[in-house]
Structure 1
Amino acid sequence: MNQRLPADFEPTSRVLKRAQYEAFAFSVLDRDIRVRNESYENPANHEYLVTVVDGIPATCECPADATYEGPCKHRVAVAIRPRILELVTKVQVAADGGTTANDRCEPAESDQCDCDELNDELPCWDCVRTGRKTLPKK
């Protein structure tokens, strides 16, 4: 479906689209990522912890992840954002007392967004919010 997604990730088209266009905010915690959906009137009621194992969003606390087959939109939202995965991996490595090769390098500045390489026509929320891209007209 998308070459950025792990091989065993098989989200439905609907889940992938929602993971791309909903207004997610990410907070990197010790070994997890808090995903908050700012698209709702009360975003605090739509905040879930995604656990990353070996660079893959493995589980989510949301009801959909436990109920439906395949990854939920929160796990997919993390999976399609390599910068978020990179940050949580660095935090995990640092928590274990190690370092990564990237710890010695400055991050490359780029105008390219993570959604530039996605197969679907929907841009990510950050691109819409900042005006870099617009949502397609129906």
Structure 2
Amino acid sequence: AFAFELLDGDVRVRNESYADPTAHEYRVRIRDGVPHSCSCPADASGDGPCKHRVAVAIRPQVLELAVQMRVVADGGSTSSGDDDTTDLPCECEQLSETLPCWNCVDAGRRDLSE
């Protein structure tokens, strides 16, 4: 059985079937939404994708999360497209002068460094 961990837009795949699973961890690099390469020896020497790349490719939720993480890590933003919430009103007056309220931070009207 494989375990997955997100790593800055890539995925660490660990084969939990071994007695020492940490000796069987490999980084699958995601490029343009596709498992592009793997740090395992089989991927470097084989003709096709290794089992770790295939394991990521057949799990669309893992792949999508890795792609979203890369966008956020690159300074971009993600949007599911179905967020119809409105900004909450400012509550800064109820707080100390040094910190903005969370509503303003969340809406982008102020940031925590102000």
Greater strand proportion: 2
Q: For 1:47 and 1:26, how far apart are their aligned partners in 2?
A: 9
Unpaired stretches in structure 1, ≥5 consecutive residues? 1-22, 106-138
Out of 52, 62, 65, the residue aligned to residue 74 of structure 1 is 52
Paired residues of 2:9 and 2:70 also in contact (CA < 8 A)? yes
Q: How does 1:1-138 map to 2 (within 5 A)?
A: 23-102=1-80
The Cα shift of 1:100 comes to 2.5
The Cα shift of 1:104 comes to 5.6
Indicate the structure whose relative CO is greater, using CA pairs within 8 Å and at least 6 residues apart.
Answer: 1
Larger Rg: 2
Unpaired stretches in structure 2, ≥5 consecutive residues? 84-114
So what's the TM-score if we normalise by structure 1? 0.57
Query: Structure 1 residues 25, 103: CA separation in 2 closer, same or farther (over 3 Å shift)?
Result: farther
Q: For 1:94 and 1:59, how far apart are their aligned partners in 2?
A: 21
Query: Structure 1 residues 60, 103: CA separation in 2 closer, same or farther (over 3 Å shift)?
Result: farther
Runs (4 or more) in structure 1 with deviation over 6 Å come to none
Instruction: Kindly tell me the number of residue pairs found equivalent between the two proteins.
Output: 83
Q: For 1:83 and 1:64, how far apart are their aligned partners in 2?
A: 25
Query: Structure 1 residues 86, 75: CA separation in 2 closer, same or farther (over 3 Å shift)?
Result: same
- Greater shift, 73-82 or 93-102, is seen at 93-102
Q: What percent identity do the matched residue pairs reach?
A: 60
So what's the TM-score if we normalise by structure 2? 0.69
Deviations 1:65-107 (A, max 9, x none): 01110000000000000000110111100011222232765xx
The Cα shift of 1:31 comes to 2.3
SS at match of 1:101: coil
Q: For 1:38 and 1:52, how far apart are their aligned partners in 2?
A: 22
Greater helix proportion: 1
SS at match of 2:19: coil
